Chains A and B, each alone.
Chain A
Amino acid sequence: MSLNNSKLEEQIIASEVDQIVEKIGTSAGGVIPILHAIQKKYNYLPESVLRRVCEITDITPAAITGISTFYSQFRHTPIGEHIIRVCTGTACHVKGSEFVYETFCRELSIGEGQDTDPEGQFTLQKIACLGCCTIAPVVQIDDVTYGHVKSDGVSNILEDFLHQKSRSSEPSSDRKIDPDVGGEIKVGLGSCCIASGSSRVQQALESCFAETGVHTQVKRVGCVGMCHRTPLLEVCPPNEEPVLYDKVKPEDVKNIVLRHYKPKTLRQRIKNAAFNFIENIIVDSRSNGFTRHPIHVRDPKVEAFLGRQQHIATEHSGQLDPLDLEEYRSREGFKALEQCLTTLSPDEILDQIKTSGLRGRGGAGYPTGQKWEMTRQEKDDTKFIICNGDEGDPGAFMDRMILESYPFRVIEGMVIAACAIGAHEGYFYIRAEYPLAVQRVKAALKLCQESGLLGENILGSGVSLKLNIMEGAGAFVCGEETALIASIEGRRGNPSFRPPYPAQKGLWGHPTLVSNCETFATVPWIIRKGPEAFNAFGTKKSSGTKVFSLAGKIVRGGLIEVPMGITIQEIVEDIGGGIEDGREFKAVQIGGPSGGCVPAELAHTRVDFEDLTKVGAMMGSGGLLVLDDTDCMVDISRYFLTFTCNQSCGKCTFCRIGTKHMLHILEKICAGKGNQEDLKKLEEIARKTKQGSLCGLGKTAPNPVLTTLAYFKEEYEAHLNGICPAKRCKALITYSITDECIGCTICAQRCPTNSIPITPYNRHEINQETCTKCGTCRQVCPNEAVIVT
Chain B
Amino acid sequence: MRDLQAGLSKRSCDSDMRSVKIKINNKEVTVPADSTILDAAGKLNIGIPTLCYLNGFERLTSCMICVVHEINSDRLIPSCSADVIEGMRIETDNEKVREARKDALDLLLSEHVGDCEAPCHRACPAHMNIPLMIRQIEEKRFEDAIITVKKDIALPAVLGRICHAPCEKGCRRKSYDSPVSICHLKRFVADVDLAQDSPYRPELKKRSGKKVAIVGAGPTGLSAAYYLLQNGHACFIYDQNPQPGGMLRYGVPDEKLPKSVLDLEIGRISELGAEFRMGHSLGKHIGIDELRHEYDAVVLAVGTVDPGMFENSEVELTNRGIKVNRKTFETAVPGVFAGGNAVGEARMAIRAAAHGKNIAYSASQFLRGLTVTGPSQRFNSVMGKIRDGEADEFMKEAGKHGQIIPEGGFENGYTDVEAMKESSRCFHCDCRKLDSCKLRQYSEEYSANQHRYKLNGRRKFERIIQHDQVIYEPGKCIKCGLCVQITRKAGEKLGLAFVNRGFDVRVETPFNEPLRQGLIKTAKKCIEACPTAALSWRDRS
Contacts and interface: CB of A to CB of B under 8 A. Distances in A.
B455 A664 contact: yes
Interface stretch (A64-72, A77-85, A184-192, A724-732): A64-72
B110 interface: yes
B78 A497 contact: yes
Given A377-B13, A652-B62, A694-B64, A62 B501 contact: no
By size class, the interface of chain B is: 35 or more
Interface string A643-660: 001111111111011111
B386 interface: no
Interface in A374-422: 374, 377-379
Contacts of B505: 650-651, 656
B61 A652 contact: yes
Given A51-B511, A69-B499, A62 B61 contact: no
Contacts of B9: 374, 377
B503 A65 contact: no
B16 to A, nearest CB: 10
A447 interface: no
A62 B487 contact: yes
Contact of B15 (A379, A492, A648, A668): A379
Contacts of B48: none
B526 interface: no
B86 interface: no
A626 to B, nearest CB: 29
Given A70-B500, A681-B453, A653 B82 contact: no
A688 B497 contact: no
A485 to B, nearest CB: 14
A651 B61 contact: yes
A694 B505 CA distance: 17
A497 B59 contact: yes
Contacts of A378: 12, 15
B8 A653 contact: no
Contacts of A63: 497
Contacts of B107: 653-654, 657-658, 661
A195 to B, nearest CB: 29
Interface in B476-506: 478-479, 484, 487-488, 492-505
Contacts of B511: 47, 50-51, 61, 65
B67 interface: yes
A501 interface: yes
A660 B111 CA distance: 10
16 contacts: A60-B488, A61-B495, A61-B510, A65-B510, A69-B498, A374-B12, A377-B12, A645-B503, A651-B62, A654-B107, A656-B479, A656-B505, A657-B110, A660-B455, A692-B67, A694-B61
Interface string A547-584: 00000000000000000000000000000000000000
A497 B503 contact: no
**Which of B8, B12, B493: most chain A Cβ within 10 A?**
B12
Interface in B32-71: 59-64, 67
Interface residues of A, number: 49
Given A497-B59, A653-B64, A688-B100, 16 more contacts: A61-B493, A65-B508, A378-B12, A497-B78, A650-B503, A651-B60, A653-B107, A657-B110, A657-B503, A660-B503, A664-B456, A681-B453, A685-B453, A691-B76, A692-B64, A694-B78
Given A378-B15, A660-B455, A650 B64 contact: no
A668 B108 CA distance: 21
Interface of B: 4, 8-9, 12-13, 15, 59-64, 67, 76-78, 81-83, 85, 100, 103-104, 107-108, 110-111, 453, 455-456, 478-479, 484, 487-488, 492-505, 508, 510-511
A653 B477 CA distance: 12
A153 interface: no
A377 B455 CA distance: 49
Nearest to B108: A653
A607 B487 CA distance: 50
Interface of A: 47, 50-51, 60-66, 69-70, 374, 377-379, 475, 492, 496-497, 499-501, 503-504, 645-654, 656-661, 664, 668, 681, 685, 688, 691-692, 694
**Which of B61, B63, B82: most chain A Cβ within 10 A?**
B61
Contacts of B479: 650-651, 656
A377 B5 CA distance: 14
B12 A649 contact: no
A379 to B, nearest CB: 6
B186 to A, nearest CB: 40
Given A69-B501, A374-B12, A62 B64 contact: no
A288 B535 CA distance: 67
Contacts of A504: 8, 12
Contact of A647 (B15, B82, B502): B502
Contacts of B77: 497
Contacts of B500: 69-70, 650
Contacts of A646: 502
Contacts of B111: 657, 660
Contacts of A668: 456
Contact of B510 (A62, A499, A500, A658): A62
User: Nearest 5 A-B pairs (CB), nearest first?
Assistant: A650-B505, A61-B510, A62-B497, A497-B81, A65-B497
A496 B82 CA distance: 10
A64 B494 CA distance: 11
Contacts of A656: 479, 502-503, 505
B471 to A, nearest CB: 20
B430 to A, nearest CB: 25
Contacts of B13: 377
Contacts of A691: 76, 100
A47 B511 CA distance: 7
Given A51-B511, A660-B455, A661-B110, A648 B484 contact: no
A648 B493 CA distance: 29
Contacts of A60: 488, 495
**Which of A377, A658, A660: most chain B Cβ within 10 A?**
A660
Contacts of A47: 511
A653 B494 contact: no
A495 to B, nearest CB: 9
Contact of A657 (B108, B456, B496): B108
Contacts of A499: 4, 8, 82-83, 85
Contacts of A652: 61-64
**Which of B15, B484, B498: most chain A Cβ within 10 A?**
B498
A646 B9 CA distance: 36
A472 to B, nearest CB: 14
A645 B505 CA distance: 12
Given A377-B13, A651-B61, A657-B108, A65 B501 contact: no
A654 B110 contact: no
A159 B107 CA distance: 49
**Which of A62, A647, A651, A668: most chain B Cβ within 10 A?**
A62
A51 B510 CA distance: 10
Contacts of B62: 651-653
B120 to A, nearest CB: 29
Contact of A692 (B15, B104, B499): B104
**Which of B9, B60, B502, B511: most chain A Cβ within 10 A?**
B502
B359 to A, nearest CB: 39
B104 A62 contact: no
A692 B12 contact: no
A650 B495 CA distance: 20
A50 B508 CA distance: 16
A407 B482 CA distance: 42
Nearest to B111: A657
B502 A650 contact: yes
Nearest to B82: A497
Nearest to A694: B61
A70 B500 CA distance: 5
A691 B504 CA distance: 22
Given A378-B12, A497-B59, A70 B495 contact: no
Contacts of B497: 61-63, 65-66
